[in-house]
Amino acid sequence: MWTHNYDAVCFHALKSVEKYLKAVLQEQGVNIPKTHQLIDLLALCAKVDSEYLMLQPDLMGLEGYAIMFRYPGQSADRAEAKAAFKAAEMISTFVKAKLGLT
């Protein structure tokens, strides 16, 4: 029988996006802060290129997944996992295009 770990999908979607945003900063020579807050990283990316601000709605959906489902009490469901995966996929496509990696 299959079991689903929707919590892990949400967590790894957030971490993936975090790494993409930090890659943008690295490529632009911007000091990368020790943070896991996507909105803070987005603000730094937007200073380099304001088009990154279009990612804000998707980032807001991912923000908080670093801790929300890692402790007992709350669990992600299929819809949340699907939305998180879709957001991470869209953001990675956008960042790869910006970095010329398509």
pLDDT of residue 1: 43
With H, G, I as helix, E, B as strand and everything else as coil, classify residue 23. helix
- Whole-model pTM over 0.95: no
Mean pLDDT of the chain: 90
In a domain, 11, yes or no: yes
In a domain, 1, yes or no: no
The number of distinct structural domains making up the chain is 1
pLDDT of residue 73: 72
- Residue 41's domain comprises 6-98
Question: Which residue has better confidence, 2 or 48?
Answer: 48
Q: Which of 56, 57, 73, 92 is nearest to 7 (CA)?
A: 73
- H-only helix segments in the chain: 6-27, 38-48, 56-62, 78-98
